[in-house]
Amino acid sequence: MAKQKKGKADDGGLREQLRVPSGPVDLTTYDTRATPGFSGSKDEGKVALEGLEAEVSDWQERLFAEGRKDGERSVLLVLQGMDTSGKGGVIRHGAGLMDPQGLKITSFKAPTAAEKRRGFLWRIKQALPSEGMIGIFDRSHYEDVLIARVRNLVTPNVWNRRYDQINDFEAELDAHGVTIVKCYLHISQEEQKVRLQARLDDPTKHWKYNPGDVDERELWPDYMDAYHAAIERCNTPEAPWYVIPSDRKWYRNWAVTTILLETLRSLDPQWPQADYDIDTEKKRLAAT
Amino acid sequence: MAKQKKGKADDGGLREQLRVPSGPVDLTTYDTRATPGFSGSKDEGKVALEGLEAEVSDWQERLFAEGRKDGERSVLLVLQGMDTSGKGGVIRHGAGLMDPQGLKITSFKAPTAAEKRRGFLWRIKQALPSEGMIGIFDRSHYEDVLIARVRNLVTPNVWNRRYDQINDFEAELDAHGVTIVKCYLHISQEEQKVRLQARLDDPTKHWKYNPGDVDERELWPDYMDAYHAAIERCNTPEAPWYVIPSDRKWYRNWAVTTILLETLRSLDPQWPQADYDIDTEKKRLAAT
């Protein structure tokens, strides 16, 4: 690992550090409380996150501007993780630093019958970001190889085919200018218990709790198996997976936002050139 | 006018101050540089805006929570104004204080042929906020009695009927739990010239400039006539118009956000009660 700087990603970039290597995946080997690439405290982490606002907003506006002219590029951030892992928190505190006009956020619940009839990717395609936008998926097509597999919502034959279908789909998106960033927010089973407990203890959080959350929790090992398969089989150069240690909320928010920032930086969108004659327009305006 | 407090709306509420009285409307009688309800400086105005973040976010989350349970209510903020009046700026700096997950922002451009065939309200209805959401329209169905009237895009007979159609539509929304807040961002013709000039002078703003902006600018008096008619004829108790003096960007952002805050406050959404037995769930969770 390269040297670390306080409050900053190290020189190699956070993406390099958190990117899942190809090959078999075993999430139990990851420390959910670790803070790779960041050596400061919680308070320093919060300050560091705020410190990303100016740069990430600037890149976002450049991408947006590009999309308003000839640009075809967009970014799609896919957030996955067990209940309480903080998908909503990342959107609120990380994406919330950016201009909401440039964000297209979609939260996927259980598909309706009408959606199921159209195939599992149909509703995903409806929600893709258009040119210049940053799309964010709170859950995604990966649920169709996660809960669908764990809960036997479809036959093994059906979910087994979906990994390749997802890879084909994501490769096609990449070929059409959609840069895909997939983050698995990794919490421990113990941390989930603490967070569910907090939802039961705090009346302002009761609405976030669902008795079904405990049912899912009881299937933790099955979900981990399903995540191992999903991450391993759909970890492509075009659409890589990142594992974000997420027991520390401040680190999780900083890390995902930093990965998004590094992604925008590497896209390097430029302010569009004027497609009109500037001097002519100045004279026209002056005459009004 | 009631007494003013520094950095705060006065006791009567900003809505009361900026709400357009019923009867004939003459925008030339409004001072576009005024700062009604705020007696501080520009810097104090920016601080005051930031100071709204905690409360407006809290109400937004309560509304969102309500919508996730049985609630049917939502808010729709309609932003109208001449080019450069700052519709985008209000969204970025005002709405940007809130959680983007609870916002549904739609920017309306010239309608496509497919949209026109469906009637002018069709695409508007597609973009309405669902339960618990705050919808924001950057331009709206009002363009269909503004540019459509000024530019003779439809016959007078057609646009003339639209005022009543809009009132019926908005009354129906109100009856279904959509609280409508319509803000006209009022800039002077001189201020628009300064802002268009700035877009021509700054390469990072060239993409925001369109030669058509000057064409529209030349029709300023016609647009004011169209705004007078729109505001007068569609200024209903269910869907009132507010005129926001907008030559000062900081005031504009603070004023619209304050009106939104007062609206949320008056809706007074409450954290939903648990629809499960809390003790049972605590025991179930403890057993995992």
Counting beta carbons within 10 angstroms of the beta carbon of residue A60, is it exposed (0 to 12), middle (13 to 18) or buried (19 or more)? buried
**Chain B residues touching chain A at CB-CB below 8 Å:** 65, 68-69, 88, 91-92, 95-96, 98-101, 103, 105, 107, 138, 193, 196-197, 200, 203-204, 206-211, 214, 217-218, 271-274, 276, 278, 281-282, 284-285, 288
The one-letter amino acid code at B8 reads K
Partner-chain residue, chosen from A91, A211, A285, that has the shortest CB–CB distance to B101: A91
- What pLDDT shows up at residue B272? 97
Cβ of B107 within 8 Å of Cβ of A92? The answer is: no
Asked if B137 contacts B130 with a C-beta cutoff of 8 angstroms, the reply is: no
- What pLDDT shows up at residue A142? 98
Counting beta carbons within 10 angstroms of the beta carbon of residue A261, is it exposed (0 to 12), middle (13 to 18) or buried (19 or more)? buried
Sign of CA dihedral B37, B40, B44, B45: positive
* Nearest chain A residue to B138, by CA: A101
Contacts of B284 in chain A (CB under 8 A): 211, 214
Q: Could you give the percent of chain B with pLDDT greater than 70?
A: 96
Query: Tens digits of per-residue pLDDT, A250-284?
Result: 999 999 999 999 999 999 999 999 999 999 999 99
pLDDT band at B12 (very low <50, low <70, confident <90, very high): low
Taking CA atoms, A203 is separated from A187, A197, A198, A249, B62, in Å, by 24, 12, 9, 21, 12
Cα separation, A273 vs B14, in Å, equals 41
Helix (H) or strand (E) holding A191: helix A189-201
Beta strands A134-138 and A74-81, pairing class: parallel
Query: Tens digits of per-residue pLDDT, B26-78?
Result: 999 999 999 999 999 999 999 999 999 999 999 999 999 999 998 999 999 99
Cα separation, B88 vs B57, in Å, equals 19
Helix (H) or strand (E) holding A120: none
Cα separation, B107 vs B126, in Å, equals 12
Q: Considering only residues A186 and A1, tell me which one the structure prediction assigns the higher pLDDT.
A: A186
Partner-chain residue, chosen from A100, A217, A272, that has the shortest CB–CB distance to B105: A100
Query: Tens digits of per-residue pLDDT, A175-197?
Result: 999 999 999 999 999 999 999 99
Helices B249-267 and B53-68, axial angle in degrees (round to 10): 40
Asked if B139 contacts B79 with a C-beta cutoff of 8 angstroms, the reply is: yes
SS3 B181: strand
- What pLDDT shows up at residue A3? 38
Instruction: Please state the three-class secondary structure of A106-118 as a single string.
Output: EECCCCCHHHHHC
Rounded to the nearest angstrom, the gap between the alpha carbon of residue A163 and the centroid of all alpha carbons in its chain is 19
Cβ of B285 within 8 Å of Cβ of A214? The answer is: yes
- What pLDDT shows up at residue B154? 97
* Strand order through the sheet with B134-138: B103-107, B134-138, B74-81, B178-186, B241-245
**Chain A residues touching chain B at CB-CB below 8 Å:** 65, 68-69, 88, 91-92, 95-96, 98-101, 103, 105, 107, 138, 193, 196-197, 200, 203-204, 206-211, 214, 217-218, 271-274, 276, 278, 281-282, 284-285, 288
Question: Quick one: which of B179, B181, B187, B188 has its CA closest to B257?
Answer: B181
Residue A4 has pLDDT above 90, yes or no: no
- What pLDDT shows up at residue B6? 43
Contacts of A204 in chain B (CB under 8 A): 271
The one-letter amino acid code at A102 reads G
SS3 A43: helix
Taking CA atoms, A162 is separated from A46, A110, A147, A230, in Å, by 38, 17, 13, 10
Q: CA of A161 to nearest chain B CA: how many angstroms apart? A: 32
Q: Could you give the percent of chain B with pLDDT greater than 90?
A: 95
Average pLDDT over residues A205-218: 97
Helix (H) or strand (E) holding A239: none
pLDDT band at A7 (very low <50, low <70, confident <90, very high): very low
Residue B238 has pLDDT above 80, yes or no: yes
* Nearest chain B residue to A68, by CA: B207
Contacts of A217 in chain B (CB under 8 A): 285, 288
* Nearest chain A residue to B286, by CA: A193
Instruction: Return the structure tokens found at B76.
Output: 């729709």
Cα separation, A128 vs B209, in Å, equals 27
Asked if B125 contacts B161 with a C-beta cutoff of 8 angstroms, the reply is: no
